[in-house]
Amino acid sequence: MSQIKATYPLSAYTRLEVAQGDLTQEKVDCIVNAADSTLNHGGGVAWAIVRAGGQIIQEESDAWVREHGTVSHDEPAYTSGGKLPARYVIHAVGPVWGEGEEDRKLAEAIRGSLARAEQLEARSVAFPAISTGIFGFPKDRAARVFCETFRVYFTENPQSPLELVRMTLWDAENVSLFLEAADRLLKRRA
Tell whether 53 is covered by a domain: yes
The burial of 99, by beta-carbon neighbours within 10 Å (0-12 exposed, 13-18 middle, 19 or more buried), is given as exposed
With respect to residue 190, please indicate whether it lies within any of the assigned structural domains.
no
According to DSSP H, which parts of 39-171 are helical? 44-53, 56-68, 102-119, 139-156
What mean pLDDT comes out for the span 111-122? Answer: 98
**Does some domain include residue 52?**
yes
Flag whether 68 is in a domain: yes
How many Å apart are CA 15 and CA 19, to the nearest integer? 13
Whether residue 54 is contained in a domain is answered as: yes
Full domain range(s) for residue 89: 3-185
- What span, in angstroms and rounded, lies between the C-alpha atoms of 18 and 76? 22
Q: Distances from the Cα of 131 to the Cαs of 50, 63, 102, 160, in angstroms?
A: 18, 24, 10, 25
Mean pLDDT of the chain: 95
Residue 124 has pLDDT above 90, yes or no: yes
The whole-angstrom distance between residue 95's C-alpha and the CA centroid of its chain comes to: 13
What backbone phi and psi angles, to 5 degrees, belong to 46? -60, -45
Q: Could you read off the pLDDT of 52-77 as tens digits, one per residue?
A: 999 999 999 999 999 999 999 999 99
Whole-model pTM?
0.96
pLDDT (0 to 100) of residue 190: 54
More confident residue, 189 or 103: 103
State the pLDDT at residue 189: 65
> Residue 122 falls within a domain, yes or no?
yes
Q: Could you read off the pLDDT of 177-186 as tens digits, one per residue?
A: 999 999 999 9
pLDDT of amino acid 3: 96
Give the number of domains in the chain: 1
Q: Is 151 inside a domain boundary?
A: yes
Question: Any idea what the CATH number is for the domain that residue 131 is in?
Answer: 3.40.220.10
In a domain, 44, yes or no: yes
Position 187 scores a pLDDT of 82
